[in-house]
Amino acid sequence: DTGVSQNPRHKITKRGQNVTFRCDPISEHNRLYWYRQTLGQGPEFLTYFQNEAQLEKSRLLSDRFSAERPKGSFSTLEIQRTEQGDSAMYLCASSLGTGFLGSNQPQHFGDGTRLSIL
Amino acid sequence: TQLLEQSPQFLSIQEGENLTVYCNSSSVFSSLQWYRQEPGEGPVLLVTVVTGGEVKKLKRLTFQFGDARKDSSLHITAAQTGDTGLYLCAGVSPRGGATNKLIFGTGTLLAVQP
């Protein structure tokens, strides 16, 4: 399977603990996105990487959240000192293209990591 | 803030019926994508529309992008139980720079009964 891969699929943790999720994009894709989706809602944008550079972060991404994409391949999203409100599905997507030429390129999503905070 | 409103939010129909889902905004989008999402899975791309007035067909699904590129519709003919899922529209803002992040609609949950 050459699609977007996310691990783990599910994470259950106690409030206050740190968690880290991993995303492996489609290999030739230079763009990588993180989104968050709560039950019954559409996904909301969190952050964007072009190759290894993090070029945009949403205001939803508080200072407890950090994302990296070393070497422009896989990406990690870490949440420190988790809170109840962090419970959600965290989705990763990748696409190909740069600048305006990339605007019509579809984003391909992984199956997400579902985070539950006890 | 750019919002994409979808209607209806929920739809339960019998197999064989037709339906239309609407995606509306006051903002213009460079392109608009439709996804279907099943429980516990990520959204799966159905189609991308780019040109105002564009119509695309995917078997029993017909997608239309509004002339002003502010709205879109998805029409399903003779729905099947396999069409059940959450339908999401998502737009790319022309003011979004090079990020091309998706702004998702509120979603339409479709249940097709046998």
Q: CA of B89: which chain A residue's CA is closest?
A: A42
Question: Is residue A46 less than 8 Å (CB to CB) from chain B?
Answer: no
* Chain CA centroid to CA A118, Å: 21
Amino acid A51 reads: N
Pairing mode, strands A53-57 and A113-117: unpaired
Cβ contact (<8 Å) for B31 and A103? yes
- pLDDT tens string B13-61: 999 999 999 999 998 988 899 999 998 899 999 999 999 999 999 999 9
Q: What stretches of A2-103 adopt beta strand conformation (E)? A: 5-7, 10-13, 19-24, 31-37, 44-50, 53-57, 65-68, 75-79, 88-95
A109 touches chain B (CB under 8 A): yes
Chain A residue with the nearest C-alpha to that of B42: A111
Using one digit for the tens of pLDDT, what is the confidence trace for A52-72? 999 999 988 889 999 999 988
pLDDT value at residue B23: 96
pLDDT digit string, tens, across residues A2-51: 799 999 999 999 999 999 999 999 998 999 999 999 988 899 999 999 99
Residue A103 above 60 pLDDT? no
Residue A102 pLDDT > 70: no
Structure confidence at residue A39 (pLDDT)? 87
